[in-house]
Amino acid sequence: MFKPTEEFARELDQQDSLRGYKDEFYIKDNQIYMDGNSLGLLSKRSEQRLLEVLDSWKNYGIDGWTKGDHPWFFLSENLGSKMATLVGGNPEEVVVTGSTTTNLHQLVATFFKPEGSRTKILADELNFPSDIYALKSQLKLRGLDPDEHLIRVKSRDGRTLNEDDIIEAMTDEVALVILPTVLYRSGQLLDIKRVTEAAHDRGILIGWDGCHSVGAIPHNFHEHGVDFAYWCHYKYVNNGPGGVAGLFVHEKHFGAEPGLAGWFGSDKTKQFDMEHDFTPADSAGAFQIGTPHVLSVAPLIGSLELFEEVGIEAIREKSLKATEYLMTLVKEHLSDYDFTIGNPTDDKHRGGHVCLEHQEAASICKALKANGVVPDFRAPNVIRLAPVAFYVSYYDVYKTVMILKDIMDNQRYKQYKNERDVIA
């Protein structure tokens, strides 16, 4: 049982096997960073690996593609093999490339094959808008009306999705399913295995958006038979703003011609033959499009070193404990202030952040930031707080709630307009 005291928070920190990793990251003095589910912090190792890659450019010039500590030509594949442990893929099934939305376009262009009565894509009404923009674009490119051919599963409560509703919507008109592993507002974690099996039982391919889970939650994409997945690395994986993303393609699909062919998807042994007939790599590397953004990939080298040392299971264990502790403190200290916990409270369905709902959420977020806590606001009424396992201590969690209580006790949030800034 958790105790709502500072002393207990200190005790939890003494027991925390990850407590030393906070020193690996750059954190401002007197700041608690609870926004790692939006942009993770810079680690000292990521900074060092970026400097090393810059040094390779300085010293080797074009020979940096094959020389130095981190040769660029194979960097996307090599990092993909390291990422594989975080997503539960085989090394050759994962590659570091592109951006989240670019990768989604690539994968839908490859695997969405409308034929006969199967012409629809199934998504959900709570998904991050960029995914929906991409799906609508892909439908339009095929001359299909998104109003008719994009199905969005409705939420029963405005926060979460019912998996039975998702499965019921998998009709014989659906050719492809695209869903988030974790919902970006409420932090609901879907049952990936169950939903994937249901899609396959109905002859439907399924892809998953892992942006809000990769780096916080263990996955088993290969074992669960997931057809493909895509995600960013700038949240829980701490690769920096605009950091290069990642994708997974199950080995059963190797040999599929990429919908958007590009030079760096070539078989590496043939890439510099300069032939006009494309020979795709026999791996997830085939789904690369352009030349790797080497300087935006470099911080990931250092970040993955930390994950290799700790292991994703230990990350998840602390994340679950810290989010449960946060919810306990909210119930204990903030029960008089109309906060609603909008995320699933059970471990099986909870992602890496806590979703607090309040009608004054935007102004409360501004007050938190002014008092040393960096939260995240999502319209219309959500305060997201992410106790990231690497660099948020249990005392940080306790202090966050105490600061929030002071803001509510003294109505400090009323100094600020209850509307989002340009960047929420």
Specify the domain boundaries for CATH 3.90.1150.10 within the chain. Answer: 6-30+311-412
Report residue 1's pLDDT band, with 50, 70 and 90 as the boundaries.
Answer: confident
48-309: CATH topology: Aspartate Aminotransferase; domain 2 (3.40.640)
Taking the C-alpha atoms of residue 111 and residue 118, their distance in angstroms, rounded to an integer, is: 13
214 close to 86: Cβ distance less than 8 angstroms: yes
Taking the C-alpha atoms of residue 297 and residue 79, their distance in angstroms, rounded to an integer, is: 9
Percent of the chain scoring above 90 in pLDDT: 98
User: If you average pLDDT over residues 137-166, what whole number do you get?
Assistant: 98
What is the pLDDT, as a whole number, of residue 421? 87
User: CA angle, 139 as apex, 133 and 255 as ends, to 5°?
Assistant: 100
Q: Does the annotation flag 258 for ligand binding? A: no
CA 194 vs CA 11, 85, 161, 238: distances in Å = 38, 21, 14, 29
269 close to 71: Cβ distance less than 8 angstroms: no
Is residue 209 over pLDDT 80?
A: yes
User: If you average pLDDT over residues 301-328, what whole number do you get?
Assistant: 98
Q: Does the annotation flag 279 for ligand binding? A: no
Q: Does the annotation flag 212 for ligand binding? A: yes
Percent of the chain scoring above 70 in pLDDT: 100
For residue 229, list its beta bridge partners: 208, 248
Residues 333-362 as b or e (16 or more Cβ within 10 Å = b): bbeeeebebbbbeeeebbbbbbbbbbebbb
Q: Does the annotation flag 130 for ligand binding? A: yes
What token pair was written down for 137?
A: 């674009």
Mean pLDDT for the chain? Answer: 97
What token pair was written down for 146?
A: 């998104």
Angle (deg, nearest 10), helices 294-310 and 312-333: 80
Taking the C-alpha atoms of residue 170 and residue 197, their distance in angstroms, rounded to an integer, is: 12
6-30+311-412: CATH topology: Aspartate Aminotransferase, domain 1 (3.90.1150)
User: CA angle, 315 as apex, 251 and 346 as ends, to 5°?
Assistant: 95
Q: Does the annotation flag 263 for ligand binding? A: yes
What is the pLDDT, as a whole number, of residue 422? 81
Is residue 319 over pLDDT 80?
A: yes
What is the pLDDT, as a whole number, of residue 192? 98
What is the pLDDT, as a whole number, of residue 160? 98
What is the pLDDT, as a whole number, of residue 424? 75
Nearest Cα to Cα of residue 248 among 222, 229, 232: 229
Is residue 388 over pLDDT 90?
A: yes
**CB hemisphere CA count around 219 (13 angstroms):** 35
Is residue 134 over pLDDT 90?
A: yes
Taking the C-alpha atoms of residue 178 and residue 149, their distance in angstroms, rounded to an integer, is: 13
Q: Classify 292 in phi/psi space as left (phi over 0), alpha (psi -120 to 50) or beta.
A: beta
Compute CA 410 distance to the chain's CA centroid, rounded to the nearest angstrom.
36
Q: Does the annotation flag 209 for ligand binding? A: yes
User: If you average pLDDT over residues 133-147, what whole number do you get?
Assistant: 98
Specify the domain boundaries for CATH 3.40.640.10 within the chain. Answer: 48-309
Angle (deg, nearest 10), helices 394-409 and 312-333: 30
User: CA angle, 295 as apex, 289 and 296 as ends, to 5°?
Assistant: 65
Phi, psi of 386 (to 5 degrees): -120, 105
Q: pLDDT of 391-415, one tens digit each?
A: 999 999 999 999 999 999 999 999 9
Nearest Cα to Cα of residue 134 among 171, 176, 95: 176
Classify residue 115 by its DSSP letter: B
Taking the C-alpha atoms of residue 227 and residue 206, their distance in angstroms, rounded to an integer, is: 6
Q: pLDDT of 257-293, one tens digit each?
A: 999 999 999 999 999 998 999 999 999 999 999 999 9
Long-range contacts of the stretch 257-260 (C-beta < 8 A, 24+) = 257/110, 258/106, 258/109, 258/110, 258/286, 258/287, 258/289, 259/106, 259/107, 259/108, 259/109, 259/110, 259/111, 260/105, 260/106, 260/109, 260/110, 260/289
What is the pLDDT, as a whole number, of residue 153? 98
- Residue that the structure tokens 């946060």 belong to: 326
What is the pLDDT, as a whole number, of residue 420? 87
Q: pLDDT of 39-56, one tens digit each?
A: 999 999 999 999 999 999
User: If you average pLDDT over residues 142-153, what whole number do you get?
Assistant: 98
Q: pLDDT of 113-130, one tens digit each?
A: 999 999 999 999 999 999
Share in percent of the chain as helix, strand, coil (round to 5): 45, 15, 40
Taking the C-alpha atoms of residue 286 and residue 265, their distance in angstroms, rounded to an integer, is: 4
Q: Does the annotation flag 100 for ligand binding? A: yes
Taking the C-alpha atoms of residue 361 and residue 377, their distance in angstroms, rounded to an integer, is: 7
Is residue 228 over pLDDT 80?
A: yes
